Amino acid sequence: MNEGSADASSPPTYHQRTTAALLDGIIATALASLVPGAPLLGGLVMGAYLVGRDGVTVGPLQYCSPGKYVMGLRLLPLGDRPLTMITSVSRNWMLGVLAFSGLLSVVPIVGSTLAALVSSVGVVLIVYEIYNIVADPEGRRWGDRVGRTRVVAHDDGGG
């Protein structure tokens, strides 16, 4: 069942993972609010952040979202392949579905119906991700399995 352990670090607690996700959600919402006159653009910015947040390599954020960084979490690849932006997209695309669904509202005649349908799918995907974090013994969500990654708590000796 273990696909090539990348590190002996322990799985994160639910508190760490939830708080990291909430922090990233706050950042995504703040980014979307920077474009108040263009809600479609705001949704696009929010979705892009949620999907690409683990592919960032700026300062201390080395393939780690700001929420994970603050909570002392790290993203590790399974096997011998490196982390990339593609890894981030493959593990997080399901989280961006809900944010991107608003873009469909501009489609004439059927846009609102499509947006509602895709929004519903997005909510189901998020609930499924939460279920997987709770049900999986290592706390891996579906996105972790798709992206062949795992999130670990790294011990900096700070307790």
Average pLDDT over residues 68-75: 94
Residue 60 lies in a domain: yes
Predicted local distance difference test score (pLDDT) of residue 3 = 44
Q: What angle do CA 33, 125, 100 make, to 5 degrees?
A: 35
Q: Looking at the domain assignment, is residue 159 inside a domain?
A: no
Rounded to 5 degrees, what are φ and ψ at 46? Answer: -60, -45
Summarised one tens digit per residue, pLDDT across range 90-146 is 999 999 998 888 788 777 888 889 989 999 999 999 999 999 999 998 889 999 999
Confidence bin at 19 (pLDDT 50/70/90) = very high
**Domain enclosing residue 94, as ranges:** 14-153
Q: Is residue 7 part of a domain?
A: no
The number of folded domains in the chain is 1
pLDDT value of position 159: 38
**Model confidence at 1: pLDDT above 50:** no
Q: Which residue has the higher pLDDT, 158 or 85?
A: 85
Residue 95 lies in a domain: yes
Contact at 8 Å (CB) between 103 and 38? no
In a domain? residue 54: yes
pLDDT at residue 55, rounded to an integer: 93
Does some domain include residue 158? no
* Structural domain contains residue 5: no
**Predicted pLDDT at 112:** 86
CB 126 within 8 A of CB 98: yes
Strands, E assignment, the chain? 57-58, 61-62, 73-77, 149-153
| Cα–Cα distance, 45 to 49 (Å, whole number) | 6
Asked if the structure places residue 33 within a domain, the reply is yes
Backbone dihedral angles phi then psi of residue 43, each to the nearest 5 degrees: -65, -35
Measured CA to CA, the distance from residue 65 to residue 56 in angstroms comes to 7
CB 80 within 8 A of CB 71: no
